[in-house]
Amino acid sequence: MLTIAAFIAVSGLSFPGSLAAQNLTPYLSQEAVASSLAILPAPPEPGSVEFLLDEYCYQRAKLLRDTPRGHQAVVDANMDGSVLLQFAESFGLEIRQETMPATYELLMRAKECFGTYGCSEAKNHYKRTRPFAYYGEPSLTPQSEAWLVHNGSYPSGHSANFYGLSYILCTLRPECQDAILKRGEDGAYSRVIVGVHWMSDIQASHIVAAAVFARLQADEEYKAQWRLAKEEVDRALGRYVEPARQPRRRTATNRASAN
């Protein structure tokens, strides 16, 4: 069986995603999203019962590393456009920039709102040490450790991305919501498996994603793009119905001209 170390070596994965490189801008600013520092409790302190649970979850997740689930967890670390392909089975469509540009733009512009702006205040305040650094052990994403060690663990930005993307995808195909939400949950838990987040980081990201998703519903640019994406998805599924054309109302001027 392909070991996890060999899988990482041959996969050529790059982990941080960049909107700037794709000429896309987030829908919301840092100031527009709810403050993660205000809405989240403090992370568990070492020695607390809650932290013991975090340690238990970390050790249990390590058992999955040299398994297909561990391999998937490494793939889930990639936050460029390929993250959308991880929902292909549950969503029923492959979302690529070349083939579904409206849906791709909707999701990629929203993603930054979840994982970056939604999480940054609590991350910067608590500066929580990540599990691999706490234990002095390697993670499954060694390419990212140099920057992860200086980036707060609480809450998880990657997990907020997975949760947030799953919420949006459910609005585009509500009939697939169970599978989509399960894939979002799996993607979030992947961060525990690779050793870069505690379980309480994942739980906190769930709250952040819900708050950002709610705020997006009040953004006019997001809503306009959602309508384009919904039409695109329905066309891809062969179920789009052209809106009925409204009959032109005759004005007094038009009636006079007709006479």
pLDDT in tens, 83-138: 999 999 999 999 999 999 999 999 999 999 999 999 999 999 999 999 999 999 99
C-alpha 109/C-alpha 203 separation (Å) is: 23
pLDDT band (50, 70, 90) for residue 5: very low
C-alpha 51/C-alpha 131 separation (Å) is: 11
Catalytic pick among 65, 130, 191, 215: 191
Topology annotation, domain 45-238: Vanadium-containing Chloroperoxidase; domain 1 (1.20.144)
Place of tokens 């001209």: 257
173 is known as an active-site residue: no
Catalytic pick among 158, 173, 183, 215: 158
Residue 60 CB contacts under 8 Å (≥ 6 apart), including other chains: none
201 is known as an active-site residue: yes
pLDDT the model gives residue 2: 43
69 is known as an active-site residue: no
pLDDT the model gives residue 215: 98
Task: Taking residues 43-52, report their average pLDDT.
Answer: 98
Catalytic pick among 76, 201, 206, 215: 201
Predicted TM-score (pTM) of the model is 0.87
pLDDT the model gives residue 258: 53
pLDDT digits (tens, 9 = 90+) for 59-95: 999 999 999 999 999 999 999 999 999 999 999 999 9
Of 214, 213, 165, 211, the residue nearest 185 (C-alpha): 165
Q: Where are the domains of the chain?
A: 45-238
C-alpha 71/C-alpha 218 separation (Å) is: 38
191 is known as an active-site residue: yes
C-alpha 137/C-alpha 151 separation (Å) is: 17
Task: Taking residues 210-226, report their average pLDDT.
Answer: 98
Of 33, 40, 52, the residue nearest 201 (C-alpha): 40
